[in-house]
């Protein structure tokens, strides 16, 4: 039994397995299938200052080895989270992380400030990379200036661990990562979904109500892995890797590329017990290959 615990710039995880925002609800949805306290942590769905109804149906299209979604940050707002969701989450003995999104810099900051008051939320993941909202979201994550501005504003009011979630829909992800690191991020997570689209040739119309959506699933994994490797080499802060991870082997690839922790997203939809299987599989891999601590394999290909 190898040591699985990880310290990400002060954020202590039992193991490197987290879940990706928007794929794990508020955790409860999965409690019939996994013991939530066995996870390194889980990242609850994107929360915005004000409630959002999200985009019209249809919001999803299956594509080769992947899926497109255009949910559009449907959520009941930060106050609802504080009043109704947080009380049920705070007793769970693992890291419950809130994904924070917004359509303006003051909205992001106000939302982060509200979450900062919650004792049992040790970190937020700042979503500057959602491709499915008209204003904000990805717009903040695709230029160094805008990314830096929103991270600085949140850093001023948010005192705990600040993860910034990066968009793959950029020409140079290293530059964006360096900009958010300089602006005060404690870690970065990547990748959010890639912009894509699908057309129904019978109706001759786009499948998604929004025409374009975010691509996730096994098809994005090689791109995600490449970007994690690039960013891990560029920045000094820890990198959390995600994008198409569906097995322990996939997770280990990300750790070897330089990710200090990983998130499982779309794979939760196919096997709601996948997170435990990935934790067990990482442990087995370490034992079988003579490692006694998961830290020994992080970024190993770069050494």
Partner 1 sequence: MKKLVDFNIEENIAVGAGCFLLKLHTDEQLPEILPGQFVNVMIEDAGVLLRRPISIHYADAKKGILELLVKIAGKGTEKLSHIAKGENINILIPLGMEFTMPAKEDNVLLVGGGVGIAPLYYFAKVMCDNGIKPTLLIGTRSAGDIILKEKFSQVADLYYTTEDGSYGEKGYPTQHSVLLNNFDKIYTCGPTPMMKGIAAYANKKGIFCEVSLENKMACGIGACLCCVQDTKEGHKCVCTTGPVFNINDLKWQN
Instruction: Report the catalytic residues.
Output: 130
256 interacts with partner 1 by CB under 8 A: no
241 interacts with partner 1 by CB under 8 A: no
Q: Of residues 199, 249, 270, 284, which one binds partner 1 by CB under 8 A?
A: 270
Give min distance, CB of 113 to partner 1, in A. Answer: 26
Q: Of residues 8, 24, 253, 275, which one binds partner 1 by CB under 8 A?
A: 24
Element (H, E) at 34: none
299 interacts with partner 1 by CB under 8 A: no
Give the total of residues touching partner 1 (CB under 8 A).
Answer: 34
Whole-angstrom distance, CA of residue 43 vs CA of residue 40: 10
40 in Cβ contact with 64 (< 8 Å)? no
Alpha helices in the chain (DSSP H): 78-80, 86-89, 105-116, 138-141, 144-157, 173-182, 221-234, 248-257, 267-270, 274-288
Can you read off the two tokens belonging to residue 223? 């791109």
Residue written as tokens 């794979």? 267
Q: Of residues 7, 29, 200, 287, which one binds partner 1 by CB under 8 A?
A: 29
- Per DSSP, the three-state class of 245 is coil
69 interacts with partner 1 by CB under 8 A: yes
58 interacts with partner 1 by CB under 8 A: yes
Give min distance, CB of 74 to partner 1, in A. Answer: 5
129 in Cβ contact with 167 (< 8 Å)? yes
71 interacts with partner 1 by CB under 8 A: yes
221 interacts with partner 1 by CB under 8 A: no
Give min distance, CB of 179 to partner 1, in A. Answer: 31
Can you read off the two tokens belonging to residue 27? 């955790």
**Which residue, among 154, 159, 153, has the nearest Cα to 122 in the 3D structure?**
159
229 in Cβ contact with 222 (< 8 Å)? no
59 interacts with partner 1 by CB under 8 A: yes
Binding mask 128-167 for partner 1 (x = CB under 8 A): ----------------------------------------
- Per DSSP, the three-state class of 182 is helix
Q: Which is nearer to partner 1, 122 or 272 (CB)?
A: 272
Q: Specify the stretch interacting with partner 1 by CB under 8 A; choose among 147-155, 186-194, 198-206, 270-278.
A: 270-278
Q: Which is nearer to partner 1, 49 or 61 (CB)?
A: 61
Give min distance, CB of 68 to partner 1, in A. Answer: 10
Give min distance, CB of 54 to partner 1, in A. Answer: 6
**Which residue, among 1, 95, 8, has the nearest Cα to 298 in the 3D structure?**
8
* Phi, then psi, of 206 in degrees rounded to 5: -60, 145
> Following CA atoms 95, 100, 106, 109 in sequence, which dihedral angle do they give, to the nearest 10 degrees?
10
Residues lying near partner 1 in the complex (CB under 8 A) are found at 22-25, 29-30, 32-33, 45, 53-54, 56-62, 64-67, 69, 71, 74, 217-218, 266, 268-273
């Amino acid at each position: 039994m190898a040591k699985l615990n990880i310290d990400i710039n002060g954020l202590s995880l039992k193991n490197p397995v987290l879940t990706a925002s928007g794929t794990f609800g508020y955790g409860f949805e999965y409690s019939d299938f996994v013991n939530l306290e066995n996870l390194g942590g889980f990242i609850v769905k994107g929360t915005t200052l004000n409630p959002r109804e999200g985009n019209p149906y249809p919001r999803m299209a299956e594509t080769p080895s992947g899926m497109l979604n255009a949910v559009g940050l449907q959520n009941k707002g930060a106050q609802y989270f504080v009043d109704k969701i947080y009380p049920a989450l705070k007793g769970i003995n693992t890291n419950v992380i809130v994904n924070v999104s917004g359509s303006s810099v003051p909205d992001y900051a106000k939302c982060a400030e509200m979450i900062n008051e919650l004792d049992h939320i040790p970190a937020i993941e700042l979503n500057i990379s959602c491709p499915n909202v008209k204003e904000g979201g990805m717009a903040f994550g695709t230029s160094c200036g805008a990314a830096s501005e929103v991270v600085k504003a949140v850093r001023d009011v948010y005192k705990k661990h600040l993860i910034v979630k990066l968009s793959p829909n950029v020409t140079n992800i290293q530059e964006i990562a360096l900009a958010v690191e300089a602006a005060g991020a404690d870690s970065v997570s990547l990748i959010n979904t890639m912009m894509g689209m699908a057309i129904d040739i019978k109706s001759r119309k786009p499948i998604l109500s929004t025409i374009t959506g975010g691509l996730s699933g096994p098809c994005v994994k090689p791109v995600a892995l490449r970007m994690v490797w690039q960013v891990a080499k560029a920045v000094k802060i820890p990198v959390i890797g995600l994008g198409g991870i569906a097995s322990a082997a996939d997770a280990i690839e990300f750790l070897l590329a330089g990710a200090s922790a990983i998130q499982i997203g779309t794979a939760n939809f196919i096997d709601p017990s996948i997170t435990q299987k990935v934790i067990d599989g990482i442990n087995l891999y370490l034992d079988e290959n003579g490692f006694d601590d998961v830290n020994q394999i992080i970024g190993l290909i770069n050494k």
